[in-house]
């Protein structure tokens, strides 16, 4: 007979495994689609153009990802700062009441 924590552990791992498989699948498709372009640019003698293009795409994605993270994190900090004076108490009784309303 399986213990409760073993059942919970098994239920926790399956979504992670499936998500990881999908992420790996999409990453492999991206890498595989880049290879013919690399061969084509190399055949024409313009492999440096391919690498500059690829580096630029990664740099732009990184900059915009960082910008989005900073905006969202700043928004979170602002909401947390402004929410402190609202008078909302963080007690266990309120949490139990919310859980009972949702369930």
Interatomic CA distance for residues 76 and 82, integer angstroms: 10
Q: How far apart are the first and last CA of the chain?
A: 29
Residues of the chain with confidence (pLDDT) below 50: none
- Contacts of residue 41, defined as CB under 8 A and 6 or more positions apart, other chains included, come to 47, 49, 50
Interatomic CA distance for residues 46 and 38, integer angstroms: 9
pTM for this prediction: 0.57
Q: What is the pLDDT of residue 84?
A: 77
- Summarised one tens digit per residue, pLDDT across range 59-82 is 999 999 999 999 999 999 998 888
- Contacts of residue 49, defined as CB under 8 A and 6 or more positions apart, other chains included, come to 41
Q: What is the pLDDT of residue 83?
A: 79
């Amino acid at each position: 007979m399986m213990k409760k924590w073993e059942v919970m552990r098994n239920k926790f791992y399956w979504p992670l495994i499936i998500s990881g498989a999908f992420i790996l699948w999409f990453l492999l498709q991206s890498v595989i689609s880049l290879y013919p372009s690399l061969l084509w640019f190399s055949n024409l003698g313009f492999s440096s153009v391919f690498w500059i293009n690829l580096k630029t795409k990664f740099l732009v994605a990184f900059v915009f990802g960082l910008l989005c993270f900073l905006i969202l994190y700043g928004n979170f900090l602002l909401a947390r700062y402004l929410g402190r004076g609202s008078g909302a108490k963080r007690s266990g009784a309120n949490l139990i009441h919310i859980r009972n309303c949702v369930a």
